[in-house]
Amino acid sequence: MAEHPFPDPALDRLSAAGCFLDIFFAVWADFEAQVLEGFESGECWRQRVRLGAFAAAGWLRDHPSEARFVFLETLRAGGRLQAERERRLEKLVDLIDRGRPLMTDPRPHGREIAVAVVGGAIGLLVQELQKGESTARVESFVPEFMYMAVLPYLGEEAAREELSICIDNPRD
């Protein structure tokens, strides 16, 4: 058998798994950049989360195939991709967890609330994708997501306000 002309690292890049991983990195980077841009444009944590959530929903609406790839197809992939996916989701958890110092009571809340908020939204998204639903529907869920995200940190009144936020003008 002839010696393979490629050195190992290049071979890895050319393998199906390496290619899959590269595409995942690129697509996720695009998604994350849009979410972070939305998040950073806000003036307070609550507004930042809202703008980040609308940015995420906008990306999902505009990139249905990519959304299916990064959120659904990667679930079926192997260990390394799973780990990379989890590591990136943790960054989103960090954004929600930044609300922890805003809590008014001294109870020792852990990071679990933020994990549940992000995990709940992603879980719902995956369910919708598995049912073949359009990613455009995600935008209409943002007020309810905000209700879930704000409630544990800022309480009922602030959370209820999120349910009536105008989708066309999320900064208000």
The footprint of another protein (CB under 8 A) covers 75-76, 86, 105, 107, 109-110, 112-113, 115-124, 126-127, 130-131, 141, 144-145, 147-148, 151-152, 155-156
Comparing CB distances to another protein, the nearer of 27 and 150 is 150
Half-sphere exposure of 4 (CA within 13 A, CB side): 8
CA distances from 86 to 56, 81, 90, 93, 126 (A): 17, 9, 6, 10, 14
Nearest to 27 by CA among 88, 82, 116, 76: 88
Please count the other Cβ atoms lying within 10 Å of the Cβ belonging to residue 32: 15
Min CB(145)–another protein separation in Å: 7
Nearest-10 Cα torsion for 51, 162, 165, 65: 50
Minimum CB separation of residue 171 from another protein in Å reads 23
Dist. CA 62–CA 111, nearest whole Å? 31
Report the nearest approach of another protein to the CB of residue 4 (Å): 26
Q: Which helix (H) or strand (E) holds 14?
A: helix 8-14
Nearer to another protein, 64 or 120 (CB): 120
Q: How far is the CB of 7 from another protein (least distance, A)?
A: 29
Local structure of residue 3 (DSSP, 8 states): P
**Toward another protein, which CB reaches closer, 30 or 98?**
98
* Shortest distance (Å) from residue 47 CB to another protein: 21
For another protein, the closer of residues 30 and 122 by Cβ is 122
Q: Identify which of residues 27 and 146 has a Cβ nearer to another protein in the complex.
A: 146
